[in-house]
Amino acid sequence: MQISEDVCHAVILADSRGNYARGLPNVGPNNVIVYRCNHERAGYFCSREERQIEFKTLDHEHFMREALREAELAGLAGETPIGAVVVHDGRIIGRGRARHVERHSEIAHAELNALLEAENYIRDHIHAGVVLYTTVEPCVMCLGAVVMSDVDHIVFALADCNIHPEQMLEMPYVRRHIRDYLGGILAAESRELFRRFRPQEIMFFESNATS
What does the alpha-carbon distance between residue 12 and residue 22 come to, in Å, rounded to a whole number?
Answer: 8
Catalytic residue among 70, 111, 137, 206: 111
Interface residue with Zn ion, options 108, 130, 142, 187 (CB under 5 A): 142
Cβ-based nearer residue to Zn ion, 39 or 191: 191
Binders of Zn ion: how many residues, by CB under 5 A?
4
Distance of CA 202 to the CA centre of its chain: 23
In this structure, are residues 67 and 133 in contact, taking their beta carbons and an 8 Å threshold? yes
Percent of the chain as helix, strand, coil, to the nearest 5? 40, 25, 35
**Which of residues 132 and 186 has its CB atom nearest to Zn ion in the complex?**
132
Between 49 and 106, CB nearer to Zn ion: 106
Inter-residue contact 28 to 21 (CB < 8 Å): no
* Least distance from Zn ion to the Cβ atom of residue 200, Å: 19
Query: Binding of Zn ion at residue 139 (CB under 5 A)?
Result: yes
Specify the stretch interacting with Zn ion by CB under 5 A; choose among 121-129, 138-146, 157-165, 172-180.
138-146
What is the DSSP secondary structure assignment for residue 19, as one 8-state letter? P
Q: Please state the three-class secondary structure of 164-201 as a single string.
A: CHHHHCCCHHHHCCCCEEECCCCHHHHHHHHHHHCHHH
Query: Is residue 72 flagged as an active site residue?
Result: no
Per CB under 5 A, 109 contacts Zn ion: yes
Stretch binding Zn ion (CB under 5 A), from 119-127, 135-143, 181-189, 199-207? 135-143
Q: Residue 82, interface with Zn ion (CB under 5 A)? A: no
Is the distance from CB of 137 to CB of 146 less than 8 angstroms?
Answer: no
Smallest distance from Zn ion to CB 139, Å: 3
- Give me the residues that bind Zn ion (CB under 5 A), please: 109, 139, 141-142
